[in-house]
Amino acid sequence: MHSLEMTNKQILGVLEPSSLDYGFPGTNDSLAAVPIAKNKLVKFGRNDRECDVILTHPSVSSIHCMFWAIRFDDDSVPMYYVKDCSLNGILINGLSLKRGQTYLLEDGDLVTIPNAGAYRFVAKIKLLTSDLVEQLGFLTEVDSWRITSKVVGSGTFGHVLVANEKMSATNHQPVNYAVKVIKMKPNRLDKEAKILLKLAHPNIIKVHKTFAGSKDHLYIFQDLITGGDLFSYLAKSDCLSPISETEALVIIYQILHALRYLHSQGIVHRDLKLDNILLCTPEPCTRIVLADFGIAKDLSSSRSRMHTVVGTPEYCAPEVGFKADRAAYKEFSRAATFEQHGYDAKCDLWSLGVIAHIILTGISPFYGDGSEASIIRNAKMGSLSFNSKQWSKVSEHAKSFVRRLLEIDVHKRLDSQGAFHHLWIAKHKGQLEKIYHKKILQGHINVLPSIEELSWKRRLPKSVNLSPTAVQRKKFTKVDH
Ligand SMILES: Nc1ncnc2c1ncn2[C@@H]1O[C@H](COP(=O)(O)OP(=O)(O)OP(=O)(O)O)[C@@H](O)[C@H]1O
């Protein structure tokens, strides 16, 4: 069993054994309370290598279910999740979860693992007011959807809340969704919704419905992605921690799939960053999903170049045209934000280079003194150094991949198709394809890695665990008009 020791401060919720509720006296006697902390998966099942809580009854699966908590930032109420990974299922308040379903736990929910035990879930941080939806003037119901006050995340353009489809008469718990509510400017078209409705890809957020309500609110109902964003995943203590090369490859391979698809549809994301890459579960080799198409551009029916300076400077390609001199943006006239030469879909590949650099080393490549001006200046010079100790255990192929994406000369920079042919990706294509189809697309999280996958993991070097990049989310405002 893995250690579940943690300080009181880290504990966001507890699963308390509940023999009374379980109704099978004796079965629960040996169960202990199980704490749940931020971004830490707690697995229940028979497998004593993988699980934190070992349940020996033969009807229990190797990994039967898992629990975790996601907290968007320190001010937000955590989201507590349970995922059923079993053959025989689990029950929440007497209703079963669909196989593979992830469910948003409420304080007081009763989780029953048949033949093995029952736990009452106690949230340590609770939602105190439930009238947020009213305060913000949002609708509480749209067609068959009910909008809750639970905030999954917030950004420059809107809030993302949990929504549910109204209960139909079934024995199953309902599926949770997310709804992004955007305040539309009077003359602004719902470009984000239009683009998302066009797209269908396993690594791109799936939109189910959009609705233009009163008060210029646009509601975008989409899948709830339950593992938090890549920024939170890497933000251990007050630094960003690198991940192993294997794990990085699996993430980058999925982003490349998403980008190749997007670019083939004539869509450029333009705001690729850690915050906009969502994980289905907070663990390695999970499915990742690109979100936030708020400033994406559809070039399919128009010209092929863009001229507006948008994005987040830390991730933004130099040709997009951010100026180190902030005064240049004081007037948001078209002329002030018009970049003469324009840029194309390769701006997304530069952003991917920044992401790859950060996840392999914990360092943001052009961070400098952390000011917006220094980041923009550094990115324009494009000088990269692979001499720091954070790079010492990273393979030459991985370094070369990052170099080929963070290439100032747009013609020399890899595009989303060419990136698949880079040796770092091509060399591992067989294993990556296998993981992509077996674990990512089919979502077989309860299948243990095969022997080949494990030996492949051993062969790849691990990145070091030191990171000087301070944790800062959404430091920069984007420039849009
Ligand atoms: N479908 C979803 N499922 C789960 N979490 C989500 C979902 N969509 C967004 N989030 C969370 O909400 C946050 C804000 O969402 P999003 O980036 O779409 O909003 P935004 O206002 O466009 O933000 P930004 O300021 O980055 O442009 C994300 O960083 C993510 O953590």
Burial class (CB in 10 A: 0-12, 13-18, 19+), 4: middle
Nearest atom in ligand 1 to the alpha carbon of residue 223 is 1
Ligand 1 midpoint to CA 293 (Å): 9
Mutation probe of ligand 1 site: the residue of 190, 195, 270, 278 with most atoms within 8 A of C-beta: 278
Would you give per-residue pLDDT tens digits along the chain (481 residues)?
Answer: 444 555 566 789 999 998 654 444 445 556 789 999 987 899 999 999 999 999 999 999 999 999 999 988 877 889 999 999 999 999 999 999 988 899 999 999 999 999 999 999 999 987 666 677 777 788 889 888 999 988 888 877 778 999 998 866 677 788 899 999 988 765 555 788 889 999 999 999 999 988 887 778 889 999 999 999 999 999 877 789 999 999 999 999 999 999 999 999 999 999 999 999 999 999 998 999 999 998 888 888 776 788 777 778 889 888 887 776 656 555 444 434 455 678 889 999 999 999 999 999 999 999 888 888 888 888 888 889 999 999 999 999 999 999 999 999 999 999 999 999 999 999 999 999 999 998 888 754 433 343 333 333 333 333 322 333 444 554 333 444 3
Ligand 1 midpoint to CA 290 (Å): 10
Question: So what's the pLDDT on residue 327?
Answer: 60
Tens digit of each residue's pLDDT (9 = 90 or more) over 326-377: 565 554 444 344 556 788 899 999 999 999 999 999 999 998 888 888 888 8
**C-beta neighbour count of 424 within 10 angstroms:** 21
**Which ipTM score applies to this complex?**
0.96
Say whether 74 is catalytic: no
Enter the DSSP assignment of 319: G
Kind of pairing, strands 267-268 and 297-298?
antiparallel
Domains in the chain and their CATH numbers?
Answer: 10-123 (2.60.200.20), 130-223 (3.30.200.20), 228-297+308-437 (1.10.510.10)
For helices 346-361 and 396-405, the axis angle rounded to 10 degrees is 140
Q: What is the DSSP string of 183-200?
A: E--TT---HHHHHHHH--
* Contact criterion met (CB below 8 Å) for 70 and 54: no
Q: Is 230 in the pocket of ligand 1 (CB under 6 A)?
A: no
Mutation probe of ligand 1 site: the residue of 157, 292, 473 with most atoms within 8 A of C-beta: 292
Give the alpha-carbon dihedral of 86, 90, 95, 100, to 10 degrees.
Answer: -30
Q: Which one from 84, 109, 229, 271 is the annotated catalytic residue? A: 271
